[in-house]
Chains A and B, each alone.
Chain A
Amino acid sequence: MGLVQREIEAAGMNTVTLSPMPDWTEAMGVPRLVGIEHPLGVTVGRPGDVATQTAVLRDTLRALIEMKEPGEVRYLPYKWQEMPGDPSLHPDPPPPITSAIMRRPWYYRKLMKGEIPEE
């Protein structure tokens, strides 16, 4: 998403990413970044939690207005209360890459080196 943000900003629009993995987004060199510790797939807040969703959106827009330097990062204080191992936070079945690595464990080392295996 960080690379996409860079392109849109370079095209003359103001951009901000609301990221549940801000380390990753920041590494791409993005103009404005807001990090939030929410699970992947529930970035803005729980279903039906209008108050949190609104607050997160407002905070994101406020960051966009207030940030004056390219590369600024702001972390939002919202916390997810369930345990991280909560299975409902993960896809069932697991994504295809999981079983592909189980079949061919050496692919994991390739990925660690940034190499993308050919199937």
Chain B
Amino acid sequence: MAEVDSYRFCGRATARIARSWIERERDPGRLIPWTPLGKPLSECTVAFVSSAGIAMLNDEPFDQEGERRNPWRGDPSFRVIPRTATEKDVRICHLHINPEFALQDLNVVLPLQRLQELVEQGEVGRVAEEHYSFMGYILEERELLAQSVPAIIAGLQAQEVDVVILVPV
């Protein structure tokens, strides 16, 4: 199976920082949570979580001005994205990626239409009504984990979501 170069699209300086952070994070003794798949995919409700900083046009954007004032702090909040959202309905609030690709076709970061097609072909049970996005440039994850993630989990559970596909950018 082909290997993937995790650093091909980073600059050298970013790659060095990423490698040093990765080495610090790595902990072979860490327990990994595990939930066995309880039913066939054709009966599962599937939701996405994206770190592309997607916000609906009628919702509050992520705080990019705050990051411009303090480049070490990214906005740790999250937004709900409905199943029917397309590139015409959203902003991409993420200063570390070129947003143009996602604004041409939201499926490049949040493949809602592709998932809907798999539902129509009977491969997947249902697309969740609500999906979730936060902005992935967060150096200090405490607020994200203490506030946003529990609220996202509550939303997923309220929708009886079985499978979550996380799509970082």
Q: How far is the CA of A60 from the CA of B26 in the complex (A)?
A: 24
Can you list, as one digit per residue, whether each of A81-105 has a CB less than 8 Å from chain B (1) or not (0)? Answer: 0001000111110011101110000
Q: Are A15 and B164 in contact (CB under 8 A)?
A: yes
Count residues on chain A whose CB falls below 8 Å from chain B CBs. 81
A28 to B44, alpha carbons, bound, how many Å?
26
Name B17's closest neighbour in chain A (CB-CB).
A111
Which residues, 1 to 55 on B, are CB-close (under 8 Å) to A?
1-10, 13, 16-27, 30-38, 41, 44, 46, 49, 51-52
Q: Is there contact, CB below 8 Å, between A18 and B101?
A: no
Q: Which residue of A lies closest to B39 (CB)?
A: A14
Chain A 46-70 residues near chain B, CB threshold 8 A: 46-48, 50, 53-54, 56-58, 60-61, 64-65, 70
The reply to whether A16 and B2 form a contact with Cβ atoms under 8 Å apart is: no
State which residues 1-54 of A face B: CB under 8 Å: 1, 3-25, 27-31, 35-37, 39-48, 50, 53-54
Residue B82, interface by CB 8 Å: no
Asked if A20 and B168 sit within 8 Å, CB to CB, the answer is yes
Decide if the interface of chain A is mainly helix, strand, loop or mixed. Answer: mixed
| CB-CB nearest in chain A for B52 | A41
Q: Is there an interface contact between A57 and B118, defined as CB atoms closer than 8 Å? A: yes
**In the bound complex, how far is the Cα of B41 from the Cα of A45, in angstroms?**
23
> Which of the residues B7, B16, B30 comes within 8 Å of A29, measured between beta carbons?
B30
A residues touching B (Cβ–Cβ < 8 Å)?
1, 3-25, 27-31, 35-37, 39-48, 50, 53-54, 56-58, 60-61, 64-65, 70-71, 74-77, 79-80, 84, 88-92, 95-97, 99-101, 108, 111-114, 116-119
